Amino acid sequence: MSIYHQRLQQFRTFLRERLAAQGFIIPRADVYQNEYVVPADERLNWLTGFTGSAGYAVILPEAAALFIDGRYTLQAKQEVDSALYQVFQIPEFDLKIFFERSFQSGDKICFDPWLMTKNDVERWTKVLENFNAEFVPASENPIDVLWHDRPHRPLDAIFSYSEIYAGLSVHNKLDLIIEKLQQFGADVFVCNAPESICWLFNIRGKDFPFSPLIDCFALIYRSSKSEIFIDTRKLTPEIKAALEPYVTFREYGSFSEHLQNIKDIKVLLDPTRAPFWAMMHLDKTSVIWAPDPCLSIKAIKNSTEISGMRLAHVKDGVAVTKFLAWLEQALANNEVLDELSLVARLETFREEQDQYQGPSFSTIAGVAENGAIVHYRPTPESNKKIQGDCLILLDSGGQYLDGTTDITRVIPVGIPTEEQRDRFTRVLKGHIAIATTPFPKGTTGSQLDVLARRPLWQAGLDYDHGTGHGVGCFLSVHEGPQRIGKSPSTVALIPGMILSNEPGYYLEGQYGIRIENLVLVQPTNEPTYQERPMFCFETLTMAPINTRLIVTEMLTAPERQWLNDYHAQVRETLLPHLDTETAAWLIEATEEI
Amino acid sequence: MSIYHQRLQQFRTFLRERLAAQGFIIPRADVYQNEYVVPADERLNWLTGFTGSAGYAVILPEAAALFIDGRYTLQAKQEVDSALYQVFQIPEFDLKIFFERSFQSGDKICFDPWLMTKNDVERWTKVLENFNAEFVPASENPIDVLWHDRPHRPLDAIFSYSEIYAGLSVHNKLDLIIEKLQQFGADVFVCNAPESICWLFNIRGKDFPFSPLIDCFALIYRSSKSEIFIDTRKLTPEIKAALEPYVTFREYGSFSEHLQNIKDIKVLLDPTRAPFWAMMHLDKTSVIWAPDPCLSIKAIKNSTEISGMRLAHVKDGVAVTKFLAWLEQALANNEVLDELSLVARLETFREEQDQYQGPSFSTIAGVAENGAIVHYRPTPESNKKIQGDCLILLDSGGQYLDGTTDITRVIPVGIPTEEQRDRFTRVLKGHIAIATTPFPKGTTGSQLDVLARRPLWQAGLDYDHGTGHGVGCFLSVHEGPQRIGKSPSTVALIPGMILSNEPGYYLEGQYGIRIENLVLVQPTNEPTYQERPMFCFETLTMAPINTRLIVTEMLTAPERQWLNDYHAQVRETLLPHLDTETAAWLIEATEEI
């Protein structure tokens, strides 16, 4: 019996005997609702084997299912035992069908109230009501009991993030947040968002993979010192001294007790983020539901952060360009290369750069058909050699003290097919449409999304992921509230926001294409725009786009102009930082088309 | 003292003395939440003088305000006495600012629960909570008491709508609706949507302006005969006989009593439509909130309706083309023309067409600066002569037994300016983008909207209205749930849906431009679209677009091709139905560019 089979059996026994329930829903989320979780919180992975960054499992007595989104369709098939779990893609698959098949009327379905938000619980309650099933917070999470060799929570020291990079003092940031709390009529904000805490207090940590975040909670009061709940062994005397005027540090484990003891004051909870547990243990009339007040301020980068992001992108562009030049030479020399060696080599180029702290996410180096797995991550088992004609999709990013990067390039090995060049050119046209279209104040990312897809739609093609996500400044590489995507958004794009621009195309079993630059929302200075305040995107990422994959005749004159202008800017920006050999390569790679 | 001043004084006295309230909110809506209301329901107009189709007034002891949207900014300024009402444009103006200025904490603000929906009331309650004001259903509507010379409700006979046009029998439609009721677990649907009742029972009436709807309510039961509440003097023996198996007719005035008597069964209410009054008088546990089950079925036209809509568009195209040819000749002959004479002349051409029943809305004939008033309607006072060089914006539509039309064309008088031609060409490019872009199954109208605006955005321009609305088949010219617009929509476009495609541009005080055709959602038969089920729009409207307004060099080759193909199709379709003179004009008007 496989380990996952054993765990599922134990889980079901626990469900029956200890919770007297018929089902349990296990999200991938941790108590922070973050993309990256510490190893001790990899509950969905422990139970099912699935390593994707989003999804949930539903365990019933006779059936079990894993629900994932389009990014993870192929990956889930590879990772999860289909004898144990049916795997469904949401939203293509209607949840109701699974429940209709598998539910008994009157079932009691449990969840861990620390791992779901009010919005999650309301959504699930509504779905389950259709089947007369109750959705009930569990007194304990079976996985937390059954997982015996569970890793410890991280213990690395936290460090302060200098105002030289942050641009604003803790004092100034707290003023902004307190003003927001006043607007909402709240006395305290229950913050379970490590990126908000790190941003607000100008601190960073090494607890999570890829994002310099800290494993902590905070209570941010309107008229007294904030409280941060953290393993206090991680504090240094410097941090304590620097934050002394603003923060009382308390032990991580005492958070729930302190939360329960909040009485007679108004408490702000973010319905998309706060654990349902908080709502269960607070007086309902004291709760004010409103978005995390840090979110909208953090999303709009200040001028110091913008300068830092620009600098980080120059350094990252140097690293990526050196890598691309090296790769072309290595391929010409018939060196034996595979996905993992590409990842390692790229990392060495980034490590040469000042203030580099590590990758901002697990590098996606997808050779040939592996490139079609949208959130692929090469492992020793999946690691593919570069052989014959193929495309390499390389999506990577760096954390620099001055900013965070995220870039995708496609490299053709040998001769790309006509179809690949057609698809690449369509993706490029979509990328350019996003990069160049000005938009009036008030426009949201969901309004712009179609511009990226239209050249693909014109050939009956599309891609199953968003077009752009927000990016933090030496914080999470994925941050809200802004995004570009199909699903409706009411968040207007505002100058200072940074997003990715990353349309793609994927042919299962064959190849993947994605072109990704980060862009900064800017007011336009076009003098002819007199009627409306207009904004546009400025591209921050600096690295050549492979022109061997472009069908030039498919580009309009302005599109060709954009590419040539972009390449001229890349050349001008990077050349001073490159060795002679790489410089020569870049000049050739960015020749006008 | 003006009549509106007197009415406002009486209203305030009533508010103070009879309702003991500090405020009242008067929507333009009637009990049906329809765009067109019968004269007896023109409450907002009676009180304020505003004739627009959307808006609301807020009456407070010391202040009064009219809130309208961008379509009515100019019109409201002309119609409403600014000494009595402050006029604000929503959403540009933040409601809160008005309330902050004018409210007292603890105010009691009333509304008529027949004229607001659950969603309306929830929205207002939330807004008013911020000011500690209570939102309370009023026991009587002051206007209903104060309006002494109020018109009677209409009394025209209703008529049956033949299956030849409707395509489905009442029996078949009821089967579909009953299936929906079963899905929702509802026993009865409280229907206050005349267009749903007319559609479901294949009947029409003459009670409302422009839409062939009937002033009635219905209770549609899952397992017994439906009840229609109507002034029974309007029934004919034929209607009674035809609907006898399905419907019991009851007196209009007994609706509220029957509604209150519903007990022990599950009641479906549409939260966007049902009067709040219904919810107040039903047992809360018996209510199921769900969309009107007729909506989604009615929106997807059956093949008979589609054929009818096509036929109607040929006839309408003939009428419009004859009008355009006549107008060009009349202008050449220096005939004295004004907006009202254009409206009258166009109507005579439509009246020549078979099955024509009347205009589908009040024709917008806006000469020069009047064209910039988006929902302008010429009146004897505003009526403008055609003089010198100017643009005429003509937006009109017809109700034919076989279908409903809606078309906008712009006619240049004399020499259009370079700016006007630039703007017209940008609007045309947007129109063509909507007309030609295929989109995958699941796409909503809000996703497509930007395609219509992009060519304007590229010059820092935009327009303050939606890009497209649903259109009924011999029903309302504006119908949901599908639409194309900036605000987020979750309604996917499905083959059989009909929408308008009408981008525009308006320069206040100078001119207006809009190009509007109706389009039908179709599956594409493009053989190269193998990866995804793709849909596209087929243009139904058949009338030439003025080429003197086009800057040909601004069009791409495919855009020029679309225009030439469209004009070739218009020619081919209409020529057999035209007199020699009009035919000659059309051939010239549709020459290739």
User: What is the reported pLDDT for A97?
Assistant: 74
CB atoms B529 and A451 under 8 Å = no
In this prediction, residue A335 carries a pLDDT of 95
| Chain B residues 409-468 with a CB less than 8 Å from chain A | 437-440, 443-444, 446-451, 454, 457-462
Rounded to a whole number of angstroms, the distance from the CA of A590 to the nearest CA of chain B is: 27
Residue A96 has pLDDT above 90, yes or no: no
- The residue of A105, A422, A446, A507 whose CB has the most chain B CBs within 10 angstroms, and thus the best one to mutate to test that interface, is A446
pLDDT for the residue numbered A423: 98
In angstroms, the CA A434 to CA A483 distance is 12
Report the C-alpha gap between B590 and B569 in whole angstroms. Answer: 10
Asked which of A67-81, A390-404, B277-291, B435-449 is least confident by mean pLDDT, the reply is A67-81
Which segments of chain B have a pLDDT < 50?
none
- pLDDT score recorded for residue A527: 72
- In this prediction, residue B355 carries a pLDDT of 97
Query: Tokens 């649903």 appear where?
Result: B470
Output the pTM of the full model: 0.91
The verdict on a CB contact (< 8 Å) between B460 and A530 is yes
B 501-560 → A contacts, CB under 8 A = 524, 526, 528-532, 534, 556
User: DSSP 3-state assignment of B62?
Assistant: coil
Minimal CA separation from B359 to chain A, in Å: 34
Burial-class residue A381 by CB neighbours within 10 Å (0-12, 13-18, 19+). Answer: exposed
Would you say A4 and A48 are in contact if contact means Cβ atoms under 8 Å apart? yes
Count of pairs with CB atoms under 8 A, one residue in A, one in B: 81
The verdict on a CB contact (< 8 Å) between A458 and B447 is no
Angle at A472 between CA A442 and CA A168, to 5 degrees: 90
Question: What digits encode the pLDDT tens for the residues A466-495?
Answer: 999 999 999 999 998 999 999 999 999 999
Are the C-beta atoms of B517 and B501 separated by less than 8 Å? yes
Report residue A92's pLDDT band, with 50, 70 and 90 as the boundaries.
Answer: low
What sign does the dihedral A366-A369-A375-A378 (CA atoms) show?
Answer: negative
Preferred mutation among B93, B505, B525, B531 to probe A, highest tally of A CBs within 10 A = B531
Provide, as residue numbers in chain A, all residues whose Cβ is less than 8 Å from the Cβ of B437: 450, 454, 457-458
Contact across the interface for B528 and A446, Cβ inside 8 Å: no
Amino acid at position B348, single letter: T
Chain A contacts of B457, Cβ < 8 Å? 437-440, 534
- Whether the pLDDT of residue A379 is over 90: the answer is no
The pLDDT of residue A127 is 82
Report chain A's mean pLDDT, rounded to a whole number. 95
Mutate to test the interface with B, among A131, A444, A450, A451 (most CBs of B within 10 A): A450
d(CA A38, CA A48): 17
- Give the pLDDT of residue B92: 66
Give yes or no for residue A35 having a pLDDT over 90. Answer: no
pLDDT value at residue B93: 67
- Do B447 and A446 lie within an 8 Å CB cutoff? yes
Q: Is the pLDDT of residue A593 over 70?
A: yes
The nearest alpha carbon in chain B to A532 belongs to B460
Distance from CA of A555 to the nearest CA of B (A): 12
pLDDT of residue A374: 85
ipTM above 0.85, yes or no: yes
Inter-chain touch A462–B531, beta carbons under 8 Å: yes
Residue A44 CB neighbour total at 10 angstroms: 24
For residues A308 and A474, give the distance between their C-alpha atoms in angstroms, rounded to a whole number.
Answer: 9
Burial class (CB in 10 A: 0-12, 13-18, 19+), A547: middle
Q: Decide if pLDDT at A376 tops 90.
A: no
Q: What is the pLDDT of residues A99-109, one digit of tens each?
A: 777 777 678 99
